[in-house]
Structure formats: C-alpha cells, structure tokens
A and B are shown apart, each in its own frame.
Chain A
Amino acid sequence: MPTWVGPVVSYSAQGLVSTLSMSAITVGAAIVVGILFGALLTLPIGIVRWPVRVYVEVWRGLPLLITLFFVFFTLPAINIRLSPFLAAVIGLSLWASANVAEIVRGAVQSIPAGQFQAAHALGFNWPQTMAYVILPQSVRRMLPPLVSLLANLIQSSALAAVVGAFELLQSARRSIERLTVETGNSEAIPILAAVMLVYFVICFPLAQASRRLERSLAV
C-alpha cells in the first residue's frame, strides 16, 4: 500500500466521527422540535398553527445550503461567535426539524378520528391525548420516512464542508490539498471514491431498512 494511505485514512476517520456526531446531535434536536411542532400543526387553533407552518415552510423550502450560509454569516453579524461545526448543526437542525414536523403531522392526521374522540371521552386533555394515545400509534407510520430522512441528513451534512466545518468530505478535501502540495499527486480519485463508498455503506442499509419498514409496518 502506498505510504500516503495511512495518514489520510486516520485523518478521514476523524472526519467521519465528526460527520456522525454532527448528524447525531442534529437528530436529537430535530426529533424534539419536530415532534412538538408536528403535533402543534394538527391543532385547529390558527394562532398556534400559523407561526409553526411558516417555520416549516421556510426551512423545508429553502435550499439547505442557503440555510447553512445564513446561520454561518448571520450570527457573527449580530455578534454571536460560533464554530463552523455549531453553525452547521444549527442549520441542519432547522432543516431536519421542519422535515420531522411534516412527517409527524402526516402521521398524526392519518390516525382515525375515533381515537381522538375516545381519548377525549376518557377525559384526556390535548397533551395527554398526544403523548399517550396518538403519538405512540403514529410511530409506525413515521418510522419509514424518518429512517429515510436520517440517510438524507447524513448525506446533507456533507454541505457543512462548504461553510468550513470539519467532517468527512472536508477531511478528504484537505487531504487532497496536502498531498498535492507535498507530493504533486492529489490522489483525488481514490480518496473521493473511498468517501463515496463510506457514505454508501452507511446510507444504503438505511434506505433498505426504510423500504422494509414501509412494507412490514404497512397498516
């Protein structure tokens, strides 16, 4: 094996860890915000629903890269300093939470009205109805799109490289630059091919799992 491989692999492994932790933090934030907002979207009260609808439409509708740039450039403009990593996590979370909210809304609205009425008859208030009756039942409908969103998130986190955050693609790019300077050979083909393979190995099983879940959880 050529001598350049070892250092590139260990450097990119750090990049991969960063990609995965970036995705993991985003998943946590997106699930919490997304479930809350998704449930709020099913309320018949316009004053509550409207601001959430705007949030969802904006962060789902904007190109994710614009959101990342926006967070990256805006917060320093109002004197909030944060690392590119954190900027990327915030941008990804805005985008992912809006998507989770839509998934949750769709799943909740697919639950038959009788379930709401039964909970109401039992004296449950709205948060109780959601927490104990509706959300547990909607999980099976949410799971396939959520798993496929996770694959999408891991792929989309590569955009963090554009705002200078350190993750898998960024580590590969820096390796290519370093090799070009030091040896004159960029080795861009094997390095980028390997990066694609890593993403594929993570995302393909997730996509398959989403498809399988869709079939096995079909109601």
Chain B
Amino acid sequence: MIAYQFQPGFILDQFPELLGGLKLTLIASAIGIAGALVVGVLAAACRSERVPLLDRLMAGYVEFFRNTPLLVQIFFLYFALPEVGIKLDAFTVAWLALVLWGGAYQAENFRAGFEAVSRGYREAARALGLSQAQMFAAVVLPIGLRIALPSLTNIGISILKNSSYMVAIGYHELTDTAVNIVSLSFRVFEMFFTIGVIYLGLAWLFGVGMGALERRLALPGSR
C-alpha cells in the first residue's frame, strides 16, 4: 500500500503564505479581466463598425493572439523584449500578457454580440438621425454587450485560471507559491488540493456573480 499521510494541519500552517499568493493572483487577474474587456470592446468596435484600416489591424491582432499559445506570448514579453531594451518586470508581464491574450478573445465575443444586434435596430437608429458613433454607443453596445455577456464571463474565468501561467516567469501568485512550498516540503496532495479548491471556488464565485448580472441586465422579452 502507499504510505502517504494527508496532513490537514500542514494546510493551515501554510495558509498565510498561500494568501499572499492568492492576493497577487487576484490583482493580476482583476487587471487582466478589466483590461481585456476594454481592449475587446475597442477591437470589436473597429471591426463591427468597419473602421477603415483599423478593422484589418484588429483582425490581425485577434487572430495572432488567439492562435499562438499564451505561454509563448509570456516568454516573448519576458525573455525576448529585453533584447531590444524593453525590460518588463514579472508583474507587468503578468497583467499585460493577460490583457493582450484575453483582449483578443473578448474582441471575438464582443464582435459576435455586436453582429447579433438585429439590423432593424440599426436601421431605426439611422432613421432617427443618429451618427454611426451615436448609434454604436446608444444601441449596438448596450444590446450587444448583453448578448455577449455569457461568453465574456467564460473568458473572464479563463483569464483567472491562466494567471497560473505566471509560474513560468516567477511571479509569486498562488500556483507559484504552492509549487515552491511543494518543492520544499513534498506535501503534494495538501497543496494541490488546497489551491485546486481555491481556483474552483473563485471561478464558481465569478460565474455566480456574472450570472446575477446577466439576469439583472436581461433584455426585455428574452425569457
């Protein structure tokens, strides 16, 4: 039989250290999620409103970041950019990588939402004499945002989970903290059980919160 003693007390001993890691995870994820929404809205607006030149540029950005691994993007920011004199610390790379990667995915989500706004609404806005910018701000954005909300939530959760990639550049977030503790103590099960529960719990909380927001913002007539 396998001799491994699960020691719950060990989790309590390490808790303060894990909380420190959790704090950094939350900071990087919060900036990542918020930043990705901003980048996503702007990129999607350029594409769905067919802004000349910028729509092509944003399409390129979206396809590039969606079709290359996040980890390689992180490596590029952290290990390659210093070669041309751009030195970013681990924290900056952590949130910046999440914003750039998440922004590309959120752009696709927003675009799908914007394009699902029925043509009739756009025509009505035009008939009322709204400019394209006014129409976007007053009609397309508020409606498209609500349509996109569930998929925006999913990518938000992915950003939170993917903040764990920052182990690779030694940003001391939750996973990095746990891995450090494991390599000193070999308390594998205790640590991975704990951070597993924390990540699943955070994702669940985020999903519940966004679900409540979805119901609050539900379009009249949709269920």
Q: Which residues of A contact B (CB under 8 A)?
A: 57-58, 61-66, 69-70, 73-74, 77-79, 151, 155-156, 158-159, 161-162, 169, 173, 176, 186, 188-189, 192-193, 195-196, 199-200, 203-204, 207
Contact = CB atoms under 8 A, between A and B. Distances in A.
Interface in B149-204: 161-162, 164-165, 167-168, 175, 179, 182, 186, 188-189, 192, 195-196, 199-200, 203
Interface residues of B, number: 37
Contacts of B63: 204, 207
Contact of A199 (B72, B179, B182, B200): B72
A65 B175 contact: yes
11 contacts: A62-B196, A66-B164, A66-B195, A69-B175, A155-B69, A155-B70, A169-B75, A188-B80, A188-B82, A195-B72, A200-B67
Nearest to B79: A188
Contacts of B82: 188
Given A73-B188, A188-B79, A62 B69 contact: no
Contacts of A204: 63, 67
B2 interface: yes
Given A70-B192, A151-B67, 18 more contacts: A61-B203, A63-B161, A63-B199, A65-B167, A66-B164, A77-B189, A159-B165, A161-B168, A173-B75, A176-B79, A186-B83, A188-B79, A188-B80, A188-B82, A196-B64, A199-B69, A203-B67, A203-B68
A62 B175 contact: no
Given A161-B71, A169-B72, A77 B4 contact: yes
B84 interface: yes
Interface in B47-79: 63-64, 66-73, 75-76, 79
Interface string B79-122: 11011100000000000000000000000000000000000000
Given A151-B67, A199-B67, A192 B75 contact: yes
